[in-house]
Amino acid sequence: MQIAENTIVQIHYTLKNAAGDVVDTSAGQEPLAYLHGGGNIVEGLESALVGKAVGDKLDVTVEPERGYGERREDLVQDVERSNFVGVEDIEVGMQFLAQTPWGEQPVTVIAVADDSVQLDGNHPLAGETLNFSVEVVDVRQASEEELQHGHAHGEGGHHH
C-alpha cells in the first residue's frame, strides 16, 4: 500500500538542522505514527511521503515556509513577572502555555529580568531548514475513529 490521504503511516526519522546537528530522532524508540493528510506532521515532509511504501527510505529538505514557518518577531514580547503567579524560579528555556485570542499557545522564556520575562511564541524550529532522513515502516488504511479524531490510534499513535 502506498502513502495517500487517510492512511496511517509509521516512520522512523532523524531530523537535523542546517548545521547537521540532530534535533530529534525516533531511533531506539517506537516509530512515529500519523494520519496522512491530517496535518499531524510538517507540510513539506508530508508531501514528500505521498506515494511512498513500506521499506522506502528518503532524505527530505524542508524549507521554513513548509516546516514551522519563518520566525516572527511580533511573537516575542515582554510580560510582567507578576503574571507568573505561583512560579518562583523562572529560567531561560522554560516553557509555558499562554492564553491568547486563538487559544492556548506554547511560549518559551528567552530572557528574565527583575520585573519582566521575555517570551517567544515562535516554534523552536521556526526559521530553520529541516533535514529529515526517513524510513517508512508501515502504511495502512485509517479507521473511521482515527479519521473522526484526526490522528493515529494504537501502537505508535495516540491511545484513548
* Residues 56, 15 share a domain: yes
Asked if residue 160 is part of any domain, the answer here is no
Q: Are residues 62 and 129 in the same domain?
A: yes
* Residue 132 shares a structural domain with residue 114: no
Of residues 21 and 103, more confidence is placed in 21
18 and 97 in one domain? no
CA-CA distance, 116 to 54, in Å (whole number)? 51
Element (H, E) at 133: strand 130-141
Percent of the chain surpassing pLDDT 70? 96
Taking only the tens place, the pLDDT of each residue in 26-67 is: 999 999 999 999 999 999 999 999 999 999 999 999 999 999
Find the CATH number of the domain harbouring 64: 3.10.50.40
pLDDT tens, 68-100? 999 999 999 999 998 888 888 999 999 999 888
| Residue ranges making up the domain that contains 77 | 73-120
**Are the beta carbons of 29 and 23 closer than 8 angstroms?**
no
Domain presence at residue 29: yes
User: Per residue in 131-156, pLDDT tens?
Assistant: 999 999 999 999 999 999 999 997 65
Residues 64 and 138 reside in one and the same domain: yes
Who has greater pLDDT, 129 or 158? 129
Q: What pLDDT does residue 157 have?
A: 58
Same-domain check for residues 13 and 61: yes
pLDDT number for residue 155: 61
User: 100 or 20, which is more confident?
Assistant: 20
Judge whether residue 16 has pLDDT over 70. Answer: yes
Structurally, the chain folds into a number of domains equal to 2
Dihedral angle at the C-alpha atoms of 1, 134, 60, 132, nearest 10 degrees? 150
Would the pTM count as exceeding 0.85?
no
